[in-house]
């Protein structure tokens, strides 16, 4: 029997093979380490995300959460549903709001611009306020009206959801200050001076025609009277010239109930540019960030504008109106080929960051425009159950709990209180 030399290995490989094997073993070992580190990093990220969500839900449960613009009344005017229970449609109902921690959604009394020429604005406003009052009457254990910051706090303490009222479009004032008092008595606590068209109060950011060059003479008087009565002036929708005129006239802080930062959407006058945000902060006011994708992302705006242009060309070529079945079919086919580009949660958070870096934490809040922007809401912010996602995003970006509470309600409540205090002294 052969004996193996003690100096000779039992298995002898060529040198090149040894090198390859050694490299392979090292690569496997390093790869395994990298894979392990990657897995550990992913696990840490998942744990941090879970911790942020748990903290976010706790914050949403603990503190008052306001949203200054939710278009429920007009949605129900078009197709009624009982929002005290789960609903099949829309962005808001009571169960989802509770899931999201929402305690004080401002019900938007939205008046279409087309009603001003016909004289139907006041009647529509009264009808929509009646609807909100009926919601409260039918579910008093869930909803309550809130005419003041004190009532807001009292409702929160007893566990019912406040439904403060804001009027989107001052058209129902109809040039008569008695109507301002009428709607104040009915609970209106902010008025968006105009909407998509110039009205008897102000020019609109959406309207190429600017007959007043900002505010009308009546509009200037109205701002002063709103200060005296205790109605917050809302500068969303108005033209830039009108905004600066409001800043010069108003003695109380104002709000932008559902606007975002024009920094991210250059040329989109419906949002506020940096100089306007600075002027708003100097006034003591607050900008409430709109969640709609076309308020948040230039890509969303460009995509939507291309869609509109294609639709208008199709309608013109075929002599069709927008409600024609053929146009609906065209829209569906277009969107199959060119889907809408949604903004992201991070895009929305960028708007909050921008305002905070520009003017500080005391001048920004939430004005989602739920039920008012159709199917254009970012993933993660699709309805009123999703405020914890926003809060978790703020936590991830380093916002303190104290700062987040200011965004959720503190800043808006401060402005409302200052408006109340000014009115009490005048």
Task: Tell me how far the alpha carbon of residue 313 is from its chain's centroid.
Answer: 31
User: Which pLDDT score, from 0 to 100, does residue 45 have?
Assistant: 75
User: Which pLDDT score, from 0 to 100, does residue 168 have?
Assistant: 99
User: Which pLDDT score, from 0 to 100, does residue 20 have?
Assistant: 45
The answer, yes or no, to whether residue 18 has pLDDT greater than 50, is: no
Task: Tell me how far the alpha carbon of residue 9 is from its chain's centroid.
Answer: 74
The answer, yes or no, to whether residue 65 has pLDDT greater than 70, is: yes
The answer, yes or no, to whether residue 206 has pLDDT greater than 70, is: yes
pLDDT, one tens digit per residue, over 362-403 is 999 999 999 999 999 999 999 999 999 999 999 999 999 999
The answer, yes or no, to whether residue 32 has pLDDT greater than 80, is: no
Weakest mean pLDDT among 39-48, 97-106, 266-275, 386-395? 39-48
Delimit the domains of the chain by residue range: 57-297+342-424
Give buried/exposed letters for 275-310 (b at 16+ CB in 10 A, else e).
ebbebbbebbbbbbbbbbbbbbbbebbebeeeeeee
Q: Kindly state the tokens that stand for 392.
A: 């978790």
User: Which pLDDT score, from 0 to 100, does residue 29 have?
Assistant: 57
pLDDT, one tens digit per residue, over 161-183 is 999 999 999 999 999 999 999 99
User: Which pLDDT score, from 0 to 100, does residue 90 have?
Assistant: 98
Pairing of strands 165-168, 104-110: parallel
Under the banding of pLDDT at 50, 70 and 90, the label for residue 31 is low
Weakest mean pLDDT among 15-19, 139-143, 261-265, 306-310? 15-19
- Mean local confidence (pLDDT), 272-286: 99
Average pLDDT, the chain: 93
User: What's the CATH number of domain 57-297+342-424, 3.90.76.10, 3.20.20.140, 3.40.50.2300, 3.40.50.300?
Assistant: 3.20.20.140
More confidently predicted of 271 and 39: 271
DSSP letter assigned to residue 230: T
pLDDT, one tens digit per residue, over 340-360 is 999 999 999 999 999 999 999
- Alpha carbons 152 and 147: distance in angstroms, whole number: 8
The answer, yes or no, to whether residue 2 has pLDDT greater than 80, is: no
- Mean local confidence (pLDDT), 397-422: 99
């Amino acid at each position: 029997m052969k004996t193996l030399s003690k100096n000779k290995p039992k298995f002898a490989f060529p040198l090149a093979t040894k090198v390859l094997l050694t490299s392979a073993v090292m690569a496997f070992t390093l790869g395994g380490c990298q894979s392990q580190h990657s897995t550990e990093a992913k696990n840490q990220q998942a744990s941090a995300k879970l911790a942020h969500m748990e903290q976010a839900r706790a914050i949403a449960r603990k503190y008052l959460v306001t949203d200054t613009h939710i278009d429920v009344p007009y949605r129900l005017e078009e197709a009624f549903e009982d929002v005290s229970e789960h609903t099949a449609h829309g962005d808001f109902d009571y169960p989802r709001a509770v899931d999201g921690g929402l305690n004080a959604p401002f019900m938007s009394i939205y008046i279409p611009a087309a009603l001003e020429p016909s004289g139907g604005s006041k009647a529509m406003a009264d009808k929509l306020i009646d609807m909100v009052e009926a919601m409260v009457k039918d579910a008093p254990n869930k909803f309550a009206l809130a005419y003041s910051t004190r009532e807001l706090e009292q409702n929160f303490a007893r566990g019912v959801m406040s439904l403060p009222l804001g009027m989107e479009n001052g058209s129902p004032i109809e040039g008569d200050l008695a109507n301002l008092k009428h709607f104040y008595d009915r609970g209106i606590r902010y008025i968006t001076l105009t909407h998509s068209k110039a009205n008897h109060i102000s020019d609109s950011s959406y309207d190429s025609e600017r007959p007043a060059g900002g505010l009308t003479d009546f509009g200037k008087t109205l701002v002063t009277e709103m200060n005296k009565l205790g109605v917050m002036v809302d500068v969303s929708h108005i033209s830039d010239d009108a905004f600066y005129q409001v800043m010069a006239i108003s003695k109380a802080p104002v709000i932008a109930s559902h606007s975002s930062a024009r920094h991210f959407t250059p040329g989109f006058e419906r949002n506020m540019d940096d100089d306007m945000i600075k002027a708003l902060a100097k006034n003591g006011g607050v900008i409430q960030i709109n969640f709609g994708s076309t308020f948040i992302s230039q890509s969303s705006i460009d995509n939507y504008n291309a869609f509109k242009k294609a639709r208008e060309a199709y309608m013109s070529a075929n002599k069709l109106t927008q409600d024609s079945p053929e146009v609906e079919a065209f829209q569906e086919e277009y969107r199959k080929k060119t889907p809408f580009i949604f903004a992201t949660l991070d895009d929305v958070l960028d708007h909050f960051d921008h305002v905070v870096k520009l003017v500080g934490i005391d001048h920004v809040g939430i004005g989602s425009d739920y039920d008012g922007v159709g199917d254009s809401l970012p993933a993660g912010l699709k309805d009123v159950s999703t405020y914890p996602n926003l809060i978790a995003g703020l936590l991830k970006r380093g916002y303190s709990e104290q700062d987040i509470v200011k965004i959720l309600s503190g800043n808006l409540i401060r402005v409302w209180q200052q408006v109340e205090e000014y009115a009490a002294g005048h």
